[in-house]
Structure formats: C-alpha cells, structure tokens
Structure 1
Amino acid sequence: MHSRRTVLTTAAAVAAACAAGAAPAHAEGTGIGHRSAPAPAPSAAVRSRLRRLISRMTPEEKVGQLFVMRIYGESATDPAAADVAANQKEIGVDNAVELIAKYHVGGIIYFGWAHNTREPHQIAELSNGIQRAGAAQRVPVPLLISTDQEHGIVARVGAPATLFPGAMALGAGGSRDDARTAARIAGEELYAMGIRQDYAPDADVNVNAANPVIGVRSFGADPQAVARMVAAEVKGYQGAGVASCAKHFPGHGDTDTDSHVGLPYIHHTAQEWERLDAPPFRAAIAAGIDSIMTAHIVVPAFDASEDPATLSRPILTGILRERLGYDGVVVTDSLGMEGVRVKYGDARVPVLALKAGVDQLLNPPDLGVAHGAVLKALADGELAWSDIETKLLRILMLKERRGLFTDPYTTHQEVDRVVGTRGHLATADRIADRTTTLLRNDGGVLPLSRRRERRVLVVGADAASPSGTGGPPTGVLADTLTGLGFTATALPTGMTPTQALIDQAVAALGERDAVVVATYNVTATSRQRTLVEALLATGKPVVQLAVRNPYDIAQLGGVKAALVSYSWTDVELRAAARVIAGRREPDGRLPVPVMRADAPATALYPIGHGLTY
C-alpha cells in the first residue's frame, strides 16, 4: 500500500496536478467507424440553400425554430391519457405532432419524467414520429432532438443503453482516451435512437465543495485537467455524429446556490475567471464544439447590471462571441429554472436572452407566452429580423452538420446493432474499473478476504438512481460482492437513518464479518455519521464508500477504509465492489481536494491522492 502522490498544500495541489497532466491513457476499441470523421463545415452552396429555406418561412415559423421544447409521452401521436392532460395543461396541445404544427419548434428535449425515454425502441419510434411531423410542415425542417445524457448522476436514457461513469469519475481515472471512448459510444447509441444533440459535457470547474448543483457532474477542480477531458468528450460525441454542448457558460463551478431554485452569484474577478473557468470552454471551442449552454448565474465582474449570464450581452456577446471567438449555437439552460425567472417575467426572459446573444431558447415554462413575446418584440423593433435570421442560420447549419436534412430517421435494426451491445457494456465496466479511488486504508482493512470476511453486510444510502440506471445501491453492491464469492446481504438505511434502523444495522453486523456502508454527502449533523460511528463501535471491519461527492471522509474521522465511486449508478458500484473484493486495483486519483472539516483551508487529501493495494 502506498500513496499515489505526496501530500501537498491546498494551493500547491492544484498547480502540481496541472503540471503533472493526465494519468496514463487506457485506450479502448469501440468497433465504431461509420461516423468517426468530424463533420465538414457547411459550404457556400449549403449556406445559400439554407438561406433560401429561411426566406420561405413565415414570421411564426422562424420564431418557432428558435425554441427547444419538452413534450409528454412515449409516442409522437398517441401518448397516454395522463400525458395528453399534461400537454394540454402546459402547452395547449395533445402530442408532439400538434406541438410542431402549432409552434414550428426547432427542437424537442427528452426527459425521463416526461415519459420520453422508457426503452431504446420506443425512443427511436418517438424520434421518427417527431421527424415525420417536421417533414409534414409547410416548410419541412427536421428537428434537433436533444437530452441530458451526462452519465453518472444525470442520465435520461437508462438501461439497456450503455451507461458510463460520470464526469468526476472519469476525472479520477484521468484518461482522455477513456473520456473520448465513453462519449463516442454514448453518442453512437443516442444517434441510433434518433437523438442528435447531447447536453454534455459539463465544462464547469468544481472548486466549491458546497456546490449543490454541479459537484460530481464536473471533471474536477483543476482547470487544465477539466479542459483536457472536455475536449476529449467533445471529439467523442461529435465524432459519433451527435452535437455536443459544453455547459454552463461562463462557469457554474464556484457557487453554493442551485440555479434551479435560486439565482447564484459567482464572485470571481476577471483574472480568476480567466484562470479557473475559461480553460474548459476555450478547449471546447478549439475542439469544434457545436453548441454551448448558458448559466443562470450572476457574475458582477462582467456585468454590473447583475443580470444572469443567460440574459447578459456583456457575457454572451462580449466574452463568448467576441473574446473567445465562438460562432456556434448558444442555447439557454432551461427557462423554467428559477435562476432566470427571479428578475424578469416569463415574457421578457426570451426576448432578453435573444438580445444577449442566445440562439436557442430551451424549455420555457409557457411556450405560448414566450413565442408571442418574441414576435411582439420583432413587431415593435426591439428585435431585428436580420439578427433572428442569423441565429436561425446557425441552428440550421448545426442540423446540416449532423445529417438531419439528409437522414433524420433511425430503425429498429440500428438500435439492435448499436445500443447496449455486449462490447459496449464491457468497455463501460473496464473504464469504470479505472475510476474508483481509495482514500484511506489504515491497517490494511482492504481488500476484504473471502476467508476472514466472507459474510458481509451492506448498509447505507439508497439514493434514487437516474431514470432506468439501476439500483438500489446497497442491493447492487451486495449482489456484486456475492457474485465475487462473498455472502453479502443488503440492509438499506437511507440518508437519514432512524435510531431503530441504526440499531438494526448494528444487530445485523453482529452475525457478519464486515460491513460496507454507502454514504451520500455526509454533513456535520448527518444521521449517517451516527450510523457509521455505531458500526465502528462494534469493532468489526467497516468500509465506507462515498457514492456521490468525495468529501464524506472529512466528517468520518474514525473510518479506517474509505473509497469513492463518485456516483451510485450500477456501473460505478460494480467497479467499487470489485475493488473492495480485491479483484481490481483502486486506480482512481482525486480530481478535487478534500478539505479538513475542522480546518477548511487545509487539505485532508489533495488533488491526485489515491492509494493502491
């Protein structure tokens, strides 16, 4: 057992990690080839054809193309009665076909909670139905179908599609080849289901351990390491024919407010932003990123009006367009989030976003109000038609690059050939095996021995898994350990275990040789601490596994064996179980520092820390 890196001070840790570069690459073949070349830039002839297409559109059709909207239901034509009711209540239509006919939207975003992503064949049929509706318009235009498939804790499409470790786990693995391979396979599978845009990767640099909305969605806290991983994923997704989207500009990594429910402030100076936040976005642009998503955050250093970045012309035009030289599609984060709604009404937000430099308006809470407000602003002269047509040309060129004008459809055969294949699943497991991080192993508690600790209890937080991604975590860990020769039993105790559950866990451990406890964002007052302390008091070996943010160990001083999986999804939990059982080395290294709970300015474990057996 040895430390992968010497202990460094907090400030030096980031600098040292930057200088050291990424961990050794682990290339994996994917068996993918037919869309591996980058899409060429549209020719002058293509631009001319798209301009002629725009000239045929009515004002309503042009404005509709700027919107990307949600729709409820598994089918474009015949959703379930409850989905029809939801569509009528929120949008005033029955289904996707009516949405496209009424508002001429340029894109549709899929969500699990909207019942769009039950299984791959259904997704493909929904996508085909949407594209048929686009082709049936007076001016036929294909739709850009998108979703948030970051992997890890944010995944809208679940099994049997292949699910990969999330960004921070990949950051712990440190391999750009792994990041590129994961994105390429994920892109191939999305493409096969008719999804041509993925709102990934997350380009935020998570330098705030209290960040409630980014955290493990980020590759880490080292700007240069994050930039390398972002560029790798951009090339992977777009090499597979799917538009990539770096988010959330100008950088959401240093906030303690969730923009879904409030308006965060980022207090970085211009110099700090250039050093901490800008590198991943610069790398994405250099890699040819198709789209960039805005953040509903205030950055006073860049805009004294304190408008959120989504509505800020100094940020979106002054910095993103002019300083960084980006000329691709700019899409808002969801306009239903509170962060963009707290200052202006829903009728002003889309107009201000377009004036700021946005091209696509994502998921407004009331599409009728938003669509009408943009038309009114054009009629009043607040918005210029020439500017709207420039935005529309960008959107249509993106659709052209992604093949939507020539081949917008998919087939069941393509789904069966590509989605969730044995080779893809095996590659996901191999990548996950390089991500689990061992933070502490005092006294050589790990790996567990099938002779000494054959009977294993698994307790802890059974966090709700992303749509269709498996779980529950304690069950996955127990099943995997049993398959590796242990006799493992799951006893979920939750994130706020009662005293009765804690007592039950202690009693159950009395009949077993060791316990694995899955922890989830432990705080100083968390009942999870009480559970861990009660288990430690038994004297039995206790293995703590952080299944989300890696900071839990700072609150659990008595633990002798501590690991991080960076997510509670099956692929990462199986990899952690293989490490616990000694079947794989814990190769991951911390991509963020873990600070001491009693001295927050001091690193308990720096970037790059990780033990091996």
Structure 2
Amino acid sequence: MPQHIWKLTPREAAAQCIMPRLVPNSIQESDSSKQEIMSLIAQGIGGFCVFQGDVEYTATLIDELQKEAAIPLLFSADYEHGLTMRLEGGTDFPHAMALAQAKKPDLTYKAAVAIALEAKTIGVHWNFAPVCDINSHPENPIINIRSFAEYPSHAEQHIKEFIKGTQSQSVLACAKHFPGHGNTITDSHSALPIVHDSLTQLQQRELVPFQKAIEADVQSIMIGHLSIPALDPSGLPASLSSTIMIDLLRQHMKFKGIIITDALDMHAISKYYTSAEASILCLQAGATIALVPDNALEALDAVARKAEQDPDFYQLLVENCHLIAKAKQWCGLISEAPIAIEYSDKNRDTIVKKITSKKIALNSKTMENHAMLALDIAKQALVIHDPKNLLPISEKTSFAAFAVLDGDDQKTLDKGVAFFRVLAQTLENECDFGFINSEIEPNDAYELRDSVQAVDIIILAVFVKPMSYKGTVGLSEYLLHALDHITQDKPVIAMLLGSPYLHSYLPADAYICSYSDSLPSLSAAALTISGRATAKAWTPHDAGCFQGDHS
C-alpha cells in the first residue's frame, strides 16, 4: 500500500479526533493511569494534552508513548507564558498582558520563539496560545492578565508576533477562546458564561483579534464554552454551535485550519452533557478535535459507534483526519500527509513511518538567554503610580512587607516565598516579612498592626490572578478590612503582582504593577523598589490605568 494512503477503521478515525488529558505526575504514581494511556494509544488516539509533571520525566514519557503509536501522536499543552504554566521546569515568562505592556512586539516574538523551542524539545508540538480574548471586563475571573490588552488595537500586533514566533519553530499556535471570553464575569470552568454583546460590539471588539490571527496564518483556533445570543440565538455553547464554528468561523472568516474545543471536562459542558454527547455534538457542529472529554474512553466508544452507524459522520471524521495529518506533517512528525483516507475493517491497517529527529537538550547558555529575555520583558512591562515619590526606598527606610495571597495553595505560597527571597537580596534595609490571606483572624490582624508600629513604610505584595474554578479575581471585603486595620496611617506601597485592576479598591500611596507573578516579574518589581531598575509612570494607555484612584 502506498504510504500516502491511510486506511482507518471508524474507531481509528474517531480516535484521531479526540485528545485526552495526559498527567505525567499521575502516571508516575499509578500503573493504572499508564495502562489507560497505553490502551488509548493502541486504539489509535491522535494525541494528548499535557498537564502537571516534571519537565524531564514528561519529555521521557512523551518519547516512550510516541514509540507505541502507529500514527505519530500530537502532544499539546497550555504554555501561554512558558512550560511553567503546566510543568515544573522551563523558563517562566511574564504573562501576555506584561508582554503587551512592554510595548515592543519584537520581544513578544522572541518570547514565543523561546517558549516554542522549549516545548518542542520535550516533544510538545502544539501550544494553546496566544489568548486572543480582549479583557473588556475588569472583573473577568479567568482571562485578566492572560489577555494582551483591553482593546483590539493594543493587542493585534502582539497576537501576530506570538503566532509568528511560535510557528517559526514548527510548533502549532492556537488562537483562543473564540469568539471571545473577555466580556464576562463567569469562568467557563465552573459554569456557562453568557456574553450579551451586540453583533456590532462583537464585530468591533471581540472578533477582531481572531481575524488578525487568521491573517497571520494561525494553524488552529480553540472554541470557548460561551453562549453568545447575538451569534447563535439558540443559546448553545459556541463549542457545540455549527452557526459559530461553520457559518461564522469557516465560511465568513475563511478559517481553514484545525478547530479544537476548549476542554470538554469543564463544567460549562460537563454539567449538561456526558462525555459521549459532548464529543459527538462538537464534532458534528464543526470541531476538528474534541479536547479532554471527562471520560476519554466513553467519548471514543460513542464517537466510534456513531461513525460505524452513520457513513456521513464517518466521512466528517475522515475530513478531520486529513486536517490533523496535515498538521502532523507541518510539525515534522510525519513526512507525508495522506492524499486519501479509506475505510478499513482491520485495526492498524495504517502504520505511518515516523520522522525520527535526534533529541537535543537545550544547553545552559540557551536557557540562560531565555531567562535574561524574560527578565528584560518583565522590566520593560513594569509601570508605577507614585504621586508621593515614595520610590525607590532609601537604605535608611525601615519597612514591613506582606505577601497578600488570594488562597493558600502551595504554588501561590511558593510565589510569596520567592518574592521575599528576591526582595531580601535587593534591599539591605531592616525589614519584617509575613503572609496574609482571607483566613486571617482578628487577633492576628491586631498583632500585625502592633508589630509594624515602628516601621516607616508597609509593602503589600498582592498575588491575585485568574485561576480556574475560583470564580473571582479580587480580594474579599474581610481581607481588605484586615489590611486597612494593619496598615492604619502608615505609607503603603502596593505591588500588584497579577491583576492590575485591584487598585480600584485597594488603597495605597504608591503602586507598582507587573502584570504577572512570574519569577522575572517579581525580580523586576523588587529591583524597582530598590532603585536598581526604573519603571514607566502609569498612563491612561496602560491596562488598568488609574482613574479615580485612592492616592
């Protein structure tokens, strides 16, 4: 059989169109998890979306799984600001809003190149980035600093450069979350958001970045779980809507690449549909790939059964497989995409010759260059609002610094520890450090107030950013009251190491905004406090600009 003709059973065609979750940490801890993954590969699964794990083990695992596949696997991940978004290891780049605030699109390009290179090195050839949502609502609980900007004109060039940088490394970029997740205060991980924008508003704002992404030849677009009545009055989520995926995206916007849903295990979908129902419905409505159904085997069984019973549905899957094969060829996973895909009733009738490229670990010099690039971006992204000229802090000024945490998870605590370590290295002043979150007891607040009586300044390092399933991106009234009690009449410097919008209800005398809690952003903020780095003054053109501030 010529290599460029594939023969696929309905189950194998279905399997190419489903992308389950792969959690290296779970596989290390559980033989059953690995057996489940190996079973899916034996049934012809097309690839996996990579989640939590260690970089080195993840690279080894991906290499091992590739050897088991008849058709090379396409591995994807959310590396919006680097591998650190999902893995332990890699370069931690500032978030998208920080990239845009640096106001140098060439730096966005370089960051995307570096992220793609690190991803490709571990075997991930599809980065679910850039986020093309416009953060048009300051209380959006899930987009926020993941977005480049509040206005399309501020985001467009950075979106294009991120796509170009990613795809220059033969890594697929992905514009998400179509048709726009910015103007909502609902997290689709928890519930189905309803976007009430008019068609005109959508055309002038939310859809613009996606059109620019298409013009930049983005290879894939992710569909959000959003109900948008102006586009589809039925109320269906965009990820299940043929009106949005076929009529709007394919026909009107002329997109020809891969359409992938957002994760189908998110509650916006999983509360209302089984894995079987959601997978069939999204593929029927125009998706190329059903991403992370809650139960991958249930989804595969249902889609395969539908393909066996319905020739038109099997043909739809075949068309999807052509797109997926072209993407695998584009990434360099296979040498040639098939010119035809034919029906087969025999498993593994198609064995595709894999392109074996020698694995080359990134050397220390390359990783050092990536780290320096990340720090450079972080420095250029920083903005300050300092009407009382409190910055930088002189060597004679005593201060107390508190990490204000919106939660108590280990990753957030680690960020606070990292910040204190960096601050201690950049300042030689006498100081005290501490953690505060919404669980603070009244007695603790009184004790902290008493402990800072002798200091000259209080620094609040505020770690608040969008997090899945949390539902908010702010500080509770209780915590704000406790902070007010602790700081009393002391001068306060608020370091917004995440959401820039907190200034609207967190009183302070000076603000430093980094638009990210990445390690380089923490370092840049600490250097600014010490005077070892300078930052731009906040202007009305910056995200979260000061209008009616507390100072």
Distance 1:341 1:524, change over 3 A: closer
1:246, distance to aligned residue in structure 2 (A):
0.8
1:147 corresponds to which of 77, 84, 96: 77
Does the CA contact (< 8 Å) of 1:148 and 1:155 recur in 2?
yes
Could you tell me which residue of structure 1 aligns to residue 386 of structure 2?
A: 441
In the TM superposition, what whole-angstrom CA distance separates every residue of 1:309-336 from its partner, at most 9, and x where no partner exists?
0010010001110111000000111011
Partner of 2:13: 62
Q: Deviations over 1:37-65 (max 9, x none)?
A: xxxxxxxxxxx978612xx2222111101
Q: Distance in 2 between matches of 1:574 and 1:565?
A: 10
In the TM superposition, what is the alpha-carbon distance from 1:219 to its structure 2 partner? 0.8
The residue number in structure 2 matching 1:251 is 180
Partners of 1:189 and 1:529 in 2: how far apart?
40
> In structure 2, what is the equivalent of residue 52 of structure 1?
5
State how 1:327-406 maps to structure 2 within 5 Å: 327-381=256-310, 383-406=312-335
Q: 8 Å contact 1:335–1:362 — kept in the other structure?
A: yes
**Paired residue for 1:314?**
243
Say if 1:251 and 1:295, in contact at 8 Å, map to a contact too: yes
Q: Provide the rounded CA distance (Å) in 2 between the counterparts of 1:467 and 1:535.
A: 25
The alignment status of 1:482 with 2:424, answered yes or no, reads yes
- Give the Cα separation in 2 of the matches to 1:345 and 1:571: 42
Cα deviations across residues 96-131 of structure 1 (Å, max 9, x unaligned)?
A: 333201x3111111111xxxx213x22221110111
Task: Report what 2:40 is aligned to.
Answer: 99
The amino acid that maps onto 1:104 is G
CA distance in 1, matches of 2:484, 2:127: 42
1:223 aligns with 2:152: yes
Change in 2 beyond 3 A, CA 1:418/1:60: farther
Answering whether residue 177 of structure 2 is matched by residue 177 of structure 1, we say: no
Between the aligned partners of 1:153 and 1:534, the Cα distance in structure 2 is 39
What is the distance in 2 between the residues matched to 1:357 and 1:588? 47
The CA distance in 2 between the partners of 1:536 and 1:405, in whole Å, is: 61
Matched-pair identity in %: 26
Counterpart CA distance in 2 for 1:126 and 1:61 is 23
CA distance, structure 2, for counterparts of residue 291 and residue 410 of structure 1? 24
- Please state how far the C-alpha of 1:387 moved relative to its aligned partner: 1.9
Offset of 1:152 from its aligned partner? 7.9
Q: Partner letter of residue 477 of structure 1?
A: F
2:22 to 55, 66, 71: 71
Aligned to 1:503: 446
TM-score, normalising length: structure 2: 0.88
* Distance in 2 of aligned mates of 1:376 and 1:276: 41
Q: Work out whether residues 242 and 402 of structure 1, in 8 Å CA contact, stay in contact via their aligned partners in 2.
A: yes
SS in 1 for 2:24: coil
TM normalised by structure 1 equals 0.79
In the TM superposition, what is the alpha-carbon distance from 1:154 to its structure 2 partner?
Answer: 7.7
User: How far apart are the structure 2 equivalents of 1:296 and 1:130?
Assistant: 30
CA 1:465 to 1:285, structure 2 compared with 1: closer, same or farther past 3 Å? farther
In structure 2, do the counterparts of structure 1 residues 49 and 567 end up closer, same or farther at CA, with 3 Å as the change threshold? farther
2:344 corresponds in structure 1 to none
Q: Aligned partners of 1:70 and 1:466: how far apart in 2?
A: 22
Superposed displacement of residue 476, structure 1: 2.5
User: How far did residue 527 of structure 1 move?
Assistant: 3.1
2:461 corresponds to which residue?
518
| Counterpart-to-counterpart distance in 1, 2:3 and 2:428 | 62
For 1:537, the equivalent position in structure 2 comes to 488
Q: Is the 8 A contact 1:546 1:552 kept in 2?
A: yes
Deviation at 1:215, TM superposition (A): 1.1
What SS does the corresponding residue of 2:94 show, helix, strand or coil? coil
Q: Could you give the per-residue CA deviations for residues 245-297 of structure 1, whole angstroms, max 9, x where no partner exists?
A: 11000110011111111111011111111111111111111111111100100
Partner of 1:604: 548
Partner of 1:567: 516
Q: Secondary structure at the match of 1:357?
A: coil
Task: Please list every run of 5 or more consecutive structure 1 residues that lacks an aligned counterpart in the other structure.
Answer: 1-47, 88-92, 135-139, 597-602, 606-610
Structure-1 separation of matches of 2:408 and 2:132? 23
Q: Report if aligned partners of 2:84, 2:92 keep a CA contact under 8 Å in 1.
A: no
Deviations 1:25-82 (A, max 9, x none): xxxxxxxxxxxxxxxxxxxxxxx978612xx22221111011111134359xxx44x4
Aligned to 2:436: 493
SS of 1:108's equivalent in the other structure is: strand
Distance of 2:482 and 2:139 partners within structure 1: 22
For 1:425, give the aligned amino acid.
A
CA contact (8 A) 2:275 2:296 kept: no
With over 3 angstroms needed to count, the CA separation of the structure-2 counterparts of 1:417 and 1:399, relative to structure 1, is same
- Output the amino acid matched with 1:480: V
Contact 1:523/1:555 (<8 A) preserved: no
Q: Is the 8 A contact 1:514 1:542 kept in 2?
A: yes
Q: 1:343 offset after TM fit, Å?
A: 4.0
- TM-superposed CA distance for 1:355, in Å, is 1.5
Counterpart residue number, 2:196: 267
1:540-576 per-position Cα deviation (integer Å, ceiling 9, x unaligned): x32111222111111134x111122223232211111
Q: Is the 8 A contact 1:294 1:330 kept in 2?
A: yes
- Report deviation, 1:397: 0.4
The answer to whether 1:126 aligns with 2:61 is: yes
SS at match of 2:173: strand
Unaligned runs of 5+ in 2: 336-353, 465-472
**Would you say the 8 A contact 2:83–2:91 is kept in 1?**
no
For residues 453-505 of structure 1, the C-alpha deviation after alignment (integer angstroms, 9 at most, x for no partner) is: 2x43220324579997x863333232222222324442111244332332333
Matched residue type, 1:404: L
Preserved CA contact (<8 Å) 1:255 1:266: yes
- Which piece of structure 1 moves more, 147-156 or 243-252? 147-156
Post-superposition shift, 1:84?
Answer: 3.0
8 Å CA contact 1:458, 1:477 repeated in 2: no
Tell me if 1:156 matches 2:156.
no
Instruction: Give the distance between the partners of 2:244 and 2:18, measured in 1 at CA.
Output: 21
Equivalences, count: 522
- Poorly superposed stretches of 4+, deviation over 6 Å: 464-468
Q: Distance in 1 between matches of 2:155 and 2:409?
A: 24
The one-letter code of the counterpart of 2:361 is: V
Matched, 1:83 2:30: yes
Matched AA of 1:118: D
* Matched residue, 2:341: none
Q: Which residue of 1 aligns with 2:338?
A: none
Distance 1:362 1:589, change over 3 A: farther
Q: Which residue of 1 aligns with 2:533?
A: 584
Judging changes above 3 Å, is the alpha-carbon distance between structure 1 residues 553 and 145 closer, same or farther for their aligned structure 2 residues?
same
